[in-house]
Every structure is written in C-alpha cells, then in structure tokens.
Structure 1
Amino acid sequence: MTVVVGGGVIGLLSTYLLASAGQEVVLLEAGEAGREASWAGGGIVSPLYPWRYSPAVTALAHWSQDYYPQLGQTLLRQTGIDPEVYATGLYWLDLQDEDEALAWAERQGRALYPVPLEQVRAAVPALGDGFSRAVFMPGVANVRNPRLLAALREALQRMPNVRVVEHSPVGALIQEGRRVVGVRTAEGEWRGEQVVMAAGAWSAALLAPLGLELPVKPMKGQMILYKCAEDFLPSMVLAKRRYAIPRRDGHILVGSTLEDVGFDKAPTEDALESLKATAVELLPALANSEVVKHWAGLRPGSPDGVPYIGAVSGFDGLWLNCGHFRNGLVLAPASCQLLADLMLGRKPSIDPAPYAPGQRLGH
C-alpha cells in the first residue's frame, strides 16, 4: 500500500494516477480534501511570467498545458463534474521585459506576440485606458480549480483501491531503521511500502523530525471574486503581477497578493482594497460591482519555484511531491505523472534530474 500525505491537487492527482495503475492507496488530509492552496488559486494553466522561470519549471508547465484538456474531459466523463478547462488566451500589458519574453517564446516554439492596443480593446472592450503595450499568448487556458478538485475527489471515491481519510492530520512519519514505513495520526497508524509527502506548505514541518531540511514555507495569497455577464471578459489579462481571470459563467477572479506571514491565512482589509484597486485599473466597470467573495491561501514557497519530486536518498520508502510555490495547479499533471512513473518503475515522461530531492535537501 502507498500512503499519500496531503489532499491538495498534488496529493489527489498523485493518488489518482497511482491507483489508476493498480496501486492500493490511502490519502490522508488534515482538513477537507482540496480546500487549501489548490482551492484558493486562480487556475491559470501557465506560470504568470513563464520566461522568468528555469527550464525545470518550463518542462513541467509545457507538459501539463498540453495534457490539461484531456484530463478535464476524462474527469468529466468519469464523474459528471466538469473542471472547465477554458482556453481564453492571455494578454500581458505593459511588460517591462517584453523583449526577453518574445525571445523565450521563439526559443521554446510557443506562440507569443505583440498586438496593437486597438486590437486588444476590440477583443476585451472592458479593458481600462491606462495601458500602452500588449503581448498575447493564444490558447492559454484556465481551469476552474474548485471543480477540478471536486472531480478528482469524486473519481477517487469511485475507485475500490483508494481510501480518502479527511480531518486526519499526520503527526509524524514512522521509521524503522532508515526506512519510512508509515505515518502516525490521532486515530492510529497507517502503514505502507511507500509514503508520499504532498502536504504543500506543511511538508517541511513533517520532514524536520527526520533531520531533513526542506526549504518550503507558506506564502500567503489573497484573491477576490466578482460576478459579471458571461461575455464581460473574453480573455485573461495581466499587468503589474496582478491578473483577472474569467470563468465561463461570468465569474471574474482578481488576484493576487504575495505575503510572507507564516501560517496566517486570514483575509485582510488592506489586501481587499488593493485587489479592488487592481480590478478597477484593469476593468473599470468593476467599480460598480460588488465583491462576491474574498479569500486567502498558503502557497508552498520554494527556491526558484522548482518542486521536489522523487525518492529521498537515505530514507527508503519516502517520496516527495511538494514545493510547487505559485504553480501547483499549473505543474500538477506533469509533476504527478513523473512521480507515478518513478514509483512504478516506468520510463519517466520528463527528465527527473532537476526535481530529485538528493542534494537539494539539507541534512
């Protein structure tokens, strides 16, 4: 049996892929599955500024972007819940490093090109006046992450070889010699041949008693939500590290902050006002709209945003899939496929070397 610790998108999808290959899996979640960072994010299926990341992040992002439409279709077919993978394209406005972005796109063979502002205004009539330049990447999708998480959870509920145990915080990993053989919870022990750590911002604290220093810490992000007409915002728009994301039914997400405040995830009035100002700068008509919802989540911040995926040397049976920082939803399909490939002894779909915990963990 495999024990997966953490029920965010990484834990849910890792469980789904391992179980689909015939593994017996128990997934343990401290709260409700899919209600932390994965639920709180915006769901853009691209890093905000993909050219600013290392090739390690780019490799996972491109694989995942290509895979998301079929994942959405498969989950809809299996569960009746539509994750709404919605290809709208993305406009970056007044990019400071536009030349670097265009050079990156040419090297990577990705469509990204400047567009005249009149063309942007024709495509996005609600856009504010305060912008002078734009670049566009067609085909970029967003996924309705709460529905993706609900679909994954429902898919797992239907699998006879999976058990999802919620409200069951893991207190400690169980070691026998140098082997990790399970986890301890308030209700008792869960033992397995493998333990997968996919607990996001909480992973470091669970690994620390083993003498492992995982440089992953919580980074708070706050978002707000509006409800508009279905055709109000046809494409995603991004300026000054803030973005507006349309859902198919007219909901508009505006985000997000980036705050280093530990495990405090209370929404704040300051952030609300800042996000509303961003919303009105991007889309002035939102000045007359009520904020439907305001929330916060804790991203698993990591150096350079490169996740830790693979076996932990010196600790047989322990595997990591954590530290995705701002890109958990973006990178989840590739990250979880890579983990499953490694755990099942298959040829990896992506070169595993950049993500191997190995020398990247402190002892």
Structure 2
Amino acid sequence: MKKIAIIGAGIVGSTTAYYLAKENAYDITVFDEGLGQATKAAAGIICPWFSKRRNKVWYKMARLGADFYQKLVADLENDGFSADFYQQSGVYLLKKQEEKLADLYELGKTRRAESPLIGELKILQKEEVERVFPGLQGFEALLYASGGARVEGSQLTESLLVASGVKRVHEKVNLEVLSDGYQIAGQLFDSVVVAAGAWLSEILAPLGYDVDVRPQKGQLRDYQLPIETGAYPVLMPEGELDMIPFAGGKVSVGASHENDRGFDLTPDRVVLETLEHEALGYYAGLKEASSVSERVGIRAYTSDFSPFYGSLPEEKKVYVASGLGSSGLTTGPLIGYELAQMLQGKSGLLEAADYPVSRYIQKRG
C-alpha cells in the first residue's frame, strides 16, 4: 500500500484526502499546524457565473467548481455523512447603478446554457425582496439567481476529513527529498501533496524552488441574530462586502482582501468595523445581534491572481496547488479532486496544462 502525505488540511488537502481514501488503496497522513488556514476562516458564496474576469481558463475552473459541489455532496451523503455545510439558498446581486442589472441578467442567461446550475434568474423589486428577506435595504431592485449557494469552510473541511478516516497530525512540518522517497516528521512517503496555501514557498524554498505565491489577509465577522435566517439568500453587493446568512440566525459579514499584511492574524477593528458599517447600510438588523465573533485567515494568490496545480518540476511524485485567492471555496474542492485523480493516473474534469505549475514555481540554479 502506497504511503501518501498531504501537507495542508484546508479545502484542497481535505478534498484530496477524501477522494484518495475512497479507493482504499493508500495509507494517507494529513499534516496541518492549524494556524491561519484560509478555509477555516472562510464563509463563502458559490456564484461564479457573473464574474467578468477575462481569464477564460479561470472561469472554466470556477464554473466547473460550482458544478462539482453537486458530486461532492452526493458522494458524502452516499457514504453516510452530512453535507449541511452547503446550501443552495440563492443569491441576491446588487449593482450601484441599477440599470446595469439588465446586463447582468443577460450575462447570466448566456452562461446558464453551459451552467444550468445557475437556476432561475429574476430582477426583483424591493417589495418582492422584503417578503423573502425582511429588512433588506439600500436598493430599489436586484438580481436573483436561485442556484447560488453558501458554504461554511471549516465545517466542509472537517466533514471531508472525518469521512476520509485518514490519520491527522497537528504539527508544522518540513519536506525532505531522499533517494527512496520523501521524509516528513520522521516518516517516509512514496508521494506528497503540498496544499499549504500561502505557506507553499516556506515549504519549497529549502528544496531550491522560487515560488510565486504570496499571502492575502482575509477577515470577517459572525453575528448571532434572534431570528431564523437559514432560508435567506446570500447578498453580493459590489466591492468586498458579502453577507451570508446561515441556519439558526448566524450571519457572516466579510471578507477583507488585504495584500500588504503578510501573515498577520490579528483582527483589525478598523477593517472589520468598516465592513460592518457597510453591511448595516443594507441590513440594519445586524444591530440586534446578541454576539459577535471574528475570523482571520490567510489566502494564497499569485502575481496574475490565477490558481495552479500539478506535479512539482523535477519531483514528479510531489504534487502542489495554490493561488486560489478569494475563489478558494469555489475552486478548492475541484482542485483537490483533480489532484486525487492525478495521483491515481486518471483523467480529471480539467486540463492540467491550463493551470501549469511551471508558470509559478521554478527550480533555482
């Protein structure tokens, strides 16, 4: 039985572990220090279809990543595990210039041809929204897409790791290349997956690699409201702000995108209160929150804001993935699945050549 190490228990590493473990052919150990992981700090929206990024291969990954949740949820439930970290509650999209909603609606209609998951599309007036999401304000009209979903990141990764049944080691580790394999924490492995996000460079630099990956700090606040919010659609205004209602009255507000804070995990009250102030302009009900908690995580992004995955140059049994940025909850599970397929010598849903590791990682000398 081949021994496989996965460094990083975030969304990519946990999905890779789950799909490898389903084969019952590998001895898998997941290493994660548990500090600063982006997924654990993330509450996100799965709604890539309205993006106007010109990067076509990124959009392909994002739309297939949204579709992939249907398989992931079905697989977990078939294995006897809950997938309530994911809910297609619909999404409300707002534009500062509301006349642009018609353009967004047409874009959604066009993309629905290849992504039926978008579901129903409607431009709704304020009084129609009030019946579904009482108290929402700051607009006269918005666009509704029924296929939009919300995800709780930490719940997702924990569900995958529990379902996989793999060994977990809560430890910061180094990777050492030996003539007969790869050593991590005194153990020898046949193959390694490095899904360490923004810490990828720290792991690969001692092996002589230059890595185009840098940290992006993300912060959000969780509010506990005295009402049931599980059926509310998620809210996507223009800008950084998202508002994500969950069952039981929990509402997450965020998240920041800070490219100049390094690996700082200290909550920044100014940033969080700015997000809160903006959110109150749309939903004054946050003032009724009985408790507030904060989350900080570190995303990984590349110089051109594109993700990558595949085998490491000159080390074909070491697989890497990073650069997901703020689309990690959308693209991460699909990338994890693709890596699991690669390790088994199988084809995936993407063309790995479209997301080349060699563009972002080079061997020195």
Report deviation, 1:50: 2.7
CA distance in 2, matches of 1:45, 1:3: 29
Please name the residue that 1:171 is paired with. 174
What TM-score does the superposition give when structure 1 sets the normalisation length?
Answer: 0.87
Cα separation, partners in 2 of 1:76 and 1:321, compared to 1, 3 Å: same
- Superposed, 1:239-250 pairs within 5 Å as 239=237, 240-250=239-249
Unaligned runs of 5+ in 2: none
Please name the residue that 1:212 is paired with. 209
What TM-score does the superposition give when structure 2 sets the normalisation length?
Answer: 0.86
CA distance in 2, matches of 1:331, 1:49: 15
CA distance in 1, matches of 2:163, 2:230: 33
Report deviation, 1:19: 1.9
CA distance in 2, matches of 1:243, 1:87: 16
- Superposed, 1:308-327 pairs within 5 Å as 308-327=308-327
Please name the residue that 1:85 is paired with. 86
Cα separation, partners in 2 of 1:316 and 1:265, compared to 1, 3 Å: same
Pairing partner for 2:4 from 2, 7, 32: 2
**Residues 86-124 of structure 1: per-residue CA shift (max 9 Å, x gap):** 111111112567576445434422545543344333332
Aligned letter for 1:355? Y
* SS of residue in 2 equivalent to 1:264: coil
* SS of residue in 2 equivalent to 1:292: strand
1:289 paired to 2:293: no
Unaligned runs of 5+ in 1: none
Cα separation, partners in 2 of 1:254 and 1:106, compared to 1, 3 Å: same
Pairing partner for 1:149 from 126, 146, 157: 157
CA distance in 2, matches of 1:36, 1:148: 13
* SS of residue in 2 equivalent to 1:320: strand
Please name the residue that 2:196 is paired with. 199
Report deviation, 1:85: 1.6
Aligned letter for 1:61? A
Name the stretch that deviates more: 206-215 or 52-61: 52-61
* SS of residue in 1 equivalent to 2:244: strand
CA distance in 2, matches of 1:315, 1:232: 46
CA contact (8 A) 2:31 2:169 kept: yes
1:140 paired to 2:148: yes
Please name the residue that 1:67 is paired with. 68
CA contact (8 A) 2:309 2:319 kept: yes
- Superposed, 1:183-198 pairs within 5 Å as 183-185=183-185, 188=186, 190-198=187-195
Cα separation, partners in 2 of 1:359 and 1:45, compared to 1, 3 Å: same
What percent identity do the matched residue pairs reach?
25
CA distance in 1, matches of 2:174, 2:161: 23
Cα separation, partners in 2 of 1:29 and 1:79, compared to 1, 3 Å: farther
CA contact (8 A) 1:83 1:145 kept: no
Name the stretch that deviates more: 260-269 or 205-214: 205-214
Kindly report the root-mean-square deviation, in angstroms, between the aligned alpha carbons of the 2 structures. 2.6
* SS of residue in 1 equivalent to 2:265: coil
Aligned letter for 2:195? A
- Superposed, 1:337-348 pairs within 5 Å as 337-348=337-348
CA distance in 1, matches of 2:80, 2:154: 14
Cα separation, partners in 2 of 1:79 and 1:267, compared to 1, 3 Å: farther
Please name the residue that 1:270 is paired with. 270
* SS of residue in 2 equivalent to 1:52: coil
Cα separation, partners in 2 of 1:119 and 1:307, compared to 1, 3 Å: same
Cα separation, partners in 2 of 1:53 and 1:7, compared to 1, 3 Å: farther
- Superposed, 1:5-154 pairs within 5 Å as 5-32=7-34, 36-47=37-48, 50-52=51-53, 54-76=55-77, 78=79, 80-94=81-95, 101-102=104-105, 104-109=107-112, 110=115, 111=118, 112=121, 114-128=123-137, 130-154=138-162
CA distance in 2, matches of 1:283, 1:233: 16
Cα separation, partners in 2 of 1:55 and 1:93, compared to 1, 3 Å: same
**Residues 263-296 of structure 1: per-residue CA shift (max 9 Å, x gap):** 1011122123112212211211212324421121
* SS of residue in 2 equivalent to 1:191: strand
Cα separation, partners in 2 of 1:75 and 1:169, compared to 1, 3 Å: same
Please name the residue that 1:258 is paired with. 257
CA contact (8 A) 2:176 2:182 kept: yes
Aligned letter for 1:293? S
CA distance in 2, matches of 1:126, 1:175: 61
Cα separation, partners in 2 of 1:351 and 1:95, compared to 1, 3 Å: farther
Report deviation, 1:83: 3.2
CA distance in 1, matches of 2:18, 2:193: 13
CA contact (8 A) 1:86 1:248 kept: no
